[in-house]
Amino acid sequence: MQTLRALILLSSGLVAAASAQTDSSLRAVATARGISVGAAVTFPGGNNIANRPAYQAALAANFNTVVAENAMKFQNLSRFGNRDTTRGVYNWGPADSIVEFALANNMKVRGHTLCWHSQTATWFNNLTGAAASKDTTLKILKEHIQLLAGRYKGKILEWDVVNEAIAQNGGTSPAYRTDSRWYSRVGSIEYIDSAFRWAHRVDSNALLFYNDFGGESMNAKGQNIYDLVSGLKQRGVPIHGVGLQAHFSVGGFDTASIGENMRRLAALGLRISITELDITNSGTVDSTKLYAQKENYKKLMALCLSVPNCKTFMAWGLNDAQSWRGANTAALLFSGTATLVKKPAYFGVVEALQGSSVVALTPAARGNLSTPSPALHRGASGGVIGATDARGAVRDLQGRSLPASVRRAMRP
């Protein structure tokens, strides 16, 4: 009896271990490594209602985190359809539905964004005279942060407290963007310091981020961002991280330089999150380009894993068709709309998380393979990208055949 029970326990343990090993979804492999991996989401607005079930199912199956692509922005919260609201009147519906979806699916939420020069409420833009004074502007910002961060208190992993406050093109560092009403009406970066302090007071568990684009590497803007956040740290402002938006193009970024920037930010005691990743293709997208894109996604996840404080990795959208960079650039991890299909880029991120020594095959792929130990093939960067099936054909880890250009580049 004892032996039988032991055998049953042993075999159920084996089954559990085997199924844990074969769950090679991005969500499973990222969660296993302590990485929050996510996508920016558009429902209920924007996304085609008819496709919402497929969209939501793909999100929950493949990510452990979401961020609202637009729903938590001041402008969106200040509108019902095309109708603008007035001060203090918020349309919480879309943002609430995203947070509820996340909680129902055991996912985390990144908050985007409490203070940004763009997509502000129309009523706020139209203020003039005393209504646009420094004091009133700070009051409006404080009220907004208290309402927004207060509503989702305890439910937000990371808030982008201030988004894109640095000018795009150099200037004396740190150079602030002058087209920000927050900056021009307040007349200084007092609004930045205050925004972090107010957010921290409202939700002391949320990690607070400065988020920007174009300064991911050791360039002039990266220096500006570094100087801004070092100043915040020196003044005792509660900032916990820097968000690197990472709106990139295939081959258009320098991982060594980004790594150096990440390490100097980490040395300030800050986290570094990849917050809005998309990697565009140009021209007609063919499978050779999709495999080059895969290597780009993969090396960014590998970079994130190689620095101490990079724990969050967010794509700016789920599927190419709905990317703000344009469907034709095929910038994201999924293709398709009604049926969502994992792209090579998706498997690139998975492979980086698995490390090249661990390979998990889908049941479909295993069915095609010569057992017990199929010959695995690696790409230029060493990651496993294919295996030889029973008939000697090389297939990817989903069991699909690989394009000739990719097969040529492989080494066993």
* Interface residues toward ligand XIL, by CB under 6 A: 69-70, 163, 213, 245, 276, 324
Torsion of CA 102, 106, 107, 108, to 10 degrees: 100
Residue owning tokens 């295996």: 387
A 10 A CB-CB count for 5 gives 9
CA distance 287 to 292: 9
> Which residue's CB is nearer to ligand XIL, number 118 or number 178?
118
**Shortest approach of ligand XIL to residue 39 CB, angstroms?**
12
Phi/psi of residue 247, nearest 5 degrees? -85, 95
Identify whether the C-beta of residue 360 lies closer than 8 Å to the C-beta of residue 354: yes
Identify whether the C-beta of residue 403 lies closer than 8 Å to the C-beta of residue 287: yes
Residue whose Cβ sits closest to ligand XIL: 324
**Shortest approach of ligand XIL to residue 275 CB, angstroms?**
8
CA distance 268 to 262: 10
Burial of 401: CB neighbours in 10 Å, binned 0-12, 13-18, 19+: middle
> Which residue's CB is nearer to ligand XIL, number 210 or number 213?
213
Element (H, E) at 65: strand 65-68
> Which residue's CB is nearer to ligand XIL, number 315 or number 384?
315
Element (H, E) at 68: strand 65-68
CA distance 184 to 162: 15
**Shortest approach of ligand XIL to residue 183 CB, angstroms?**
16
Identify whether the C-beta of residue 165 lies closer than 8 Å to the C-beta of residue 157: no
Identify whether the C-beta of residue 198 lies closer than 8 Å to the C-beta of residue 146: yes
> Which residue's CB is nearer to ligand XIL, number 225 or number 302?
225
> Which residue's CB is nearer to ligand XIL, number 245 or number 337?
245
**Shortest approach of ligand XIL to residue 163 CB, angstroms?**
5
**Both tokens of residue 353?**
């998380």
Catalytic annotation, residues: 164, 276
> Which residue's CB is nearer to ligand XIL, number 65 or number 163?
163
CB crowding 38-68: b at 16 or more within 10 Å, else e: bbbbbbeeebeeebeebbbebbbebbbbbbb
**Shortest approach of ligand XIL to residue 165 CB, angstroms?**
11
**Shortest approach of ligand XIL to residue 189 CB, angstroms?**
18
